Amino acid sequence: MSTFIARRLLLLPFVAVGVTLLIFSLTQLLTPAMRASLYITDPKQLNALPDIIRKYHLDQPVYVQYWEWLRQVLHGDLGWSETAREPVAIAIAGYFPATFELALYSFACILTLGIWLGTLSAVRKDQLVDHISRFTSISGASLPTFVWGLLLLMIFYGHFGWFPPGRLGLQADLFVRSSRFHPYTGLMTVDTLLNGQWWLFWDALRHLVLPVATLTYFLTAVLVRITRSSMLETLRADYVRTAEAKGLNQSVVIDKHARRNALIPVITLAGLLFVGLLSGVVITETVFNWPGIGRWGVAASQQLDIPAVTGFALAFAGMLVLGNLCADVLYAVVDPRIRLK
């Protein structure tokens, strides 16, 4: 197991270099003036583009430019974002916790619900519960997120007033901005608990419910279908039939023998889903006025804010690489054949 993980970790730097090369080569499609903006970390530099072009060798061969750019990135200088009005690295650090929190809760719900419903559907194939589960998941995936989001907002906020949009209510927001509150992680539900403020925790949770529900409803469908088909295939396998023939309890057969093997494709999908959530769920963030990285990324791309878009792409690529690494490690955990290979 440790050899497998070490091998994967050793590959990581090569993947990272590949990713930076890819992003850098995309920036080569831009003019030198637009590329120079990647090196601006302060608005005072905006008038000094010719100097920056010289300083960072933007008129030099591509490999020189790549090295200069990489050096800058490794120092944490991702340029100045006109959209956020601050350095890109600071903007990413500022926007990321809100998205991470939303992704984390959504992912937990998607995973739990998806695997549970998928398993249930497979075990009770063609029974009522299977039909309901498939109907629900298909209906979730069949309408765009903004329709579901607005619908949930209209019903559970507009009508009942239970779950408001935004990240915090007014009183909670004022408290969080006061000196009485210490932000430890940027995750509101965690920080409010660490500060011992239960009412704030409840407020943060209320604001999470609808965006999490929207994402869960929308994204669970795929997981249900994958889990169901994978489970159906596994349940037909000889070793499962043998286990049943030996008289094992059905729950043991399903939980210990079938599901574990059926999870392999699910893990692949889950890894990608999580990274997708982390890259920002733009529509959900917009509908619920959630101050996350996705909204900023889209605004930056609309405004041709090149440093922000490049920084966003780098951050996303980094997360994708890490997500895949986690998925690989999880494969090894659930499937000994992969470790042994």
Partner 1 sequence: MLAGVVVLVVAVLMFGTGARGAAGPIQNPDSLILLTYGDPESLDPAYAYDTTSDGIFWPGIYETLITYDGSVLSRYVPRLATEVPSVANGLISKDGLTYTFPIRQGVHFHDGTVMTPADVQYSMLRFMLQDRDGGPSWLLLTPLLGTDSTRDSKGAVVVKYADAAKAVTVEGQNVVFHLKRPSAAFLSILAAWSFVLPQKWAAAHGGWDGGAATWAKYNNPKLQDRYEFDHTNGTGPFSLQTWDRQTKELILVRNEHYWRAPAPLARVVIRTVTEFAARRLQLQRGDADVISVDRPDQSQVTGMADVAIQDGLPTLVVQVMHFNQKIDASGNPDVGSGKLDGNGIPPDFFSDVHVRRAFSYAFDYGTFIRDGFRGKALQPNGPIIQGLLGYDPTLPKFTFDKQKATAEFKEAWGGKLWDTGFHFTETYNTGNAARQIGAQIIKDSVESLNPKFKIDVRNIQWSTFLQATVQHKGTLYALGWAADYPDPDDFAQPFLATNGDYPKRNGFSDPRADQMVRQGAETADPAKRTQIYRDLTKLAYEDVPGIFEAQPTQFVVMRSWVRGWYYNAILPPLANVGFDFYTMSKQ
Binding site for partner 1 (CB under 8 A): 30-31, 33-34, 37, 43-44, 46-47, 82-86, 91, 94-95, 135, 138-140, 142-143, 147, 150-151, 153-155, 157-159, 161, 164-167, 169-171, 173-174, 177, 286-289, 291, 296, 299, 302-305
Question: Could you tell me the smallest distance in angstroms from the CB atom of residue 183 to partner 1?
Answer: 12
Q: Which is nearer to partner 1, 1 or 33 (CB)?
A: 33
Q: Are 55 and 15 in contact (CB under 8 A)?
A: no
Q: Which CB atom, from 145 or from 234, has the smaller least distance to partner 1?
A: 145
Of 37 and 234, which has the nearer Cβ to partner 1?
Answer: 37
- Stated as kind and residue range, the H or E segment containing 80 is strand 80-81
Q: Which is nearer to partner 1, 108 or 170 (CB)?
A: 170
Minimum Å gap between C-beta 141 and partner 1 is: 8
Which two structure tokens, joined as six digits, stand for 29?
Answer: 């499609």
What is the secondary structure of 148-160 as a DSSP string? HHHHHIIIIIIIS
Looking at residue 29, the DSSP 8-state letter turns out to be T
Side-chain-side CA neighbours of residue 181 (13 Å): 23
Measured from the CB atom, the residue of 286 and 324 that comes closer to partner 1 is 286
The string of DSSP codes covering 14-32 is HHHHHHHHHHHHHHTTS-H
What type of residue sits at position 26?
Answer: L
In the complex, minimum distance from the CB of residue 140 to partner 1, in angstroms, rounded to a whole number: 8
In angstroms, give the least distance from the CB of 33 to partner 1: 4
User: In angstroms, what is the minimal distance from the CB of 240 to partner 1?
Assistant: 32
- Cβ atoms of 265 and 324 within 8 Å: the answer is no
β-pair partners for 80:
87
Nearer to partner 1, 299 or 326 (CB): 299
CB of 38 to partner 1, least distance (A): 12
Sign of the C-alpha dihedral computed for residues 80, 85, 90 and 91 taken in this order:
negative
Q: In the complex, what is the shortest distance from the CB of residue 71 to partner 1, in angstroms, rounded to a whole number?
A: 23
The nearer residue to partner 1, 73 or 287, going by C-beta atoms, is 287
Which distant-in-sequence residues (6+ apart) come within 8 Å of 336 by Cβ? none
CA angle 303/304/307 to nearest 5° reads 115
Q: Considering only CA atoms, which of 22, 31, 20 is closest in space to residue 71? A: 20
CB crowding 122-144: b at 16 or more within 10 Å, else e: bbeeeeeebeebbeebeebbeee
Nearest residue (CB) to partner 1, 47 versus 251: 47
Shortest CB 2 distance to partner 1, Å? 41
Report the amino acid identity of residue 71: R
Provide the 3-class DSSP secondary structure of residue 86.
Answer: strand
